[in-house]
Amino acid sequence: MTITEQDLRELLERDSGDGPYRGVAVAGVERRARRIRRRRGSALAAVAAAGAGAVAMIATAQPPVAYDWGGVLARAAQVDDIARALIAAEYERGGRTEEVTFKASGGRFLLHAICPEGRQVTVTINGREMSPRACLPGGVVWSNPKMLLRAGKNTMRVSLQVIGGPAEAKPYPARWQVSVAERDGKGCAVTVVPGEGKQVVVGNADTCGG
Amino acid sequence: MRDRADFERYVEQRSARLVRTAYLLCRDWGQAEDLVQTALAKAWLAWRRVGDNPDPYVYRILTNTHASWWRRRWRGEVPTGELPELPDQRDHEGEIGARDALRAALIALPARQRGVVVLRYFEDMADQEIAAVLGCSAATVRSQASRALAKLRLDPQAQAAIRMESRP
C-alpha cells in the first residue's frame, strides 16, 4: 500500500494528540530566561575581556551586549581567537542594490544583517549570490556561507526587497544594516551593530563546540 | 512595543500547541516541554523587539534549538536508508503496520527535514513561511520536503501533487 499526504497529516495529528500536552507555565519560562541571561552575561563578560579590542576599530566604546537571533550564542571559551570585523554598512533606502568593497585576508566569514520584518536581504559577494534571507526580529545571519572571501579586495552587493520581490524596485525609506566578519577556526565571530557600536557575538553553538 | 501581559497571553494561548509541535520534532514529551520552555524563554528575552506576530520568531528558535540538541544529544536511533517493507493490502493490521513504518521513517529523518514535514503538514505553513522560520529559501524548503517525502515513501501521485503546489 502507499501512504498519502492525508495519512501523514492524520498521523502527526494523532501522535501529538495522545500526550499530556498542557503547555508550559509562565513562571517556568521566567526561571529559564533568568538562567539564560546569567549564562549570556558571564559569556559576554569573558568575551569582552578576551579580545573586544579586535573590533574596536569600527565600534564605539559601548560595552558588548547580547543580541538575540534565534538564541545561538557562541560561548566565551570558544572565542578566545576572536574573528576580525571587516565591514559594517548602514543604509537608509531599500529597493536598490548597494555596493561596497572591503579588504580581507581570505577564508571563511559570517554575514549579519538587521532589517525590517516583511523584507528580505539579497547578498552577492564577488559575483556569487547567496540565498536571500527573510528579515526576523533580532536580525538574520548567514553563519556558514559555502564560499570563501578572497585575500585582498572583495566586492559585496546587497539589496533590501519585499519578500519574493525583485531586487530593484522604486527606492523607499528603510533603515537596515549589514556587517561582515572573518571567522575563527571554530566558526565563532564577533561583529558589530552599525550605528550603535554594539558588539555582537555570533556563531553556531554546535560548530563552536557548545 | 510588546509588554509582559502580551507575553503571558501568548504563552497561555500558544504553548500547548507549541509542545505538540516540539513533540513531533523530538518524539519525547519531557524534552518537548523543555524545548518549548527554552524557546519561550529566549523569545521573552527579545520580546520588546518581536513584531506583531511572534510565531515566526518562536518557531525559529524552537527548530534551531531542536536541531542543535538533536546534533548533540540524539544517540538513540540510527537513521537508515532501508525502511521496513510496507504491507501490500490495506487491511486493519496493514494500516497499523504502515503507520508504524511511517512513524519510524519520520523519526529517522534528519532534524531539518523533519522540521519541514512538521511545519508543512502539522502547522500547515506555506513554504515561504517555513523558509522564514528556518532561515533558508523556499526552494530549499521544497527540496528538503521532496527528499523527506521520498524517504517516507508517499504515494507518487501525492508527491506529484505536492510538487505542483505553488505555495506562495
Inter-chain residue contact A29 with B135, CB threshold 8 Å: no
User: Which residue among A9, A20, A29 sits closest to B40, beta carbon to beta carbon?
Assistant: A29
C-alpha cell at A183: 571567522
**Which amino acid is present at B22?**
A
Q: Does B83 touch chain A (CB under 8 A)?
A: no
- How far off is chain B from A205, nearest CA to CA, in Å? 8
How big is the A-B interface in CB pairs under 8 Å? 168
Residues on chain B touching A28 (C-beta within 8 angstroms): 37
Predicted confidence band of residue B80 (pLDDT cuts 50, 70, 90): very low
pLDDT average, residue stretch A89-113: 85
Q: Which position has the higher pLDDT, A144 or B156? A: A144
Q: Does B20 touch chain A (CB under 8 A)?
A: yes
- How far off is chain B from A17, nearest CA to CA, in Å? 7
pLDDT average, residue stretch A46-55: 38
Predicted confidence band of residue B70 (pLDDT cuts 50, 70, 90): low
Q: Which position has the higher pLDDT, A75 or A137? A: A137
Close Cβ partners of A104 (under 8 Å, ≥ 6 residues apart): A86, A149, A150, A151, A152, A154, A182
Instruction: Supply the pLDDT for residue B36.
Output: 92
Can you give the pTM of this predicted structure? 0.50
C-alpha cell at A14: 494523532
> What one-character DSSP code corresponds to residue B33?
H
C-alpha cell at B10: 501568548
Predicted confidence band of residue A2 (pLDDT cuts 50, 70, 90): low
Checking if the pLDDT of A12 tops 70, the result is yes
Instruction: Supply the pLDDT for residue A200.
Output: 53
Do residues A101 and A153 make contact, with C-beta atoms less than 8 angstroms apart?
A: yes
User: B101-124: per-residue pLDDT in tens?
Assistant: 788 888 888 888 999 999 999 999
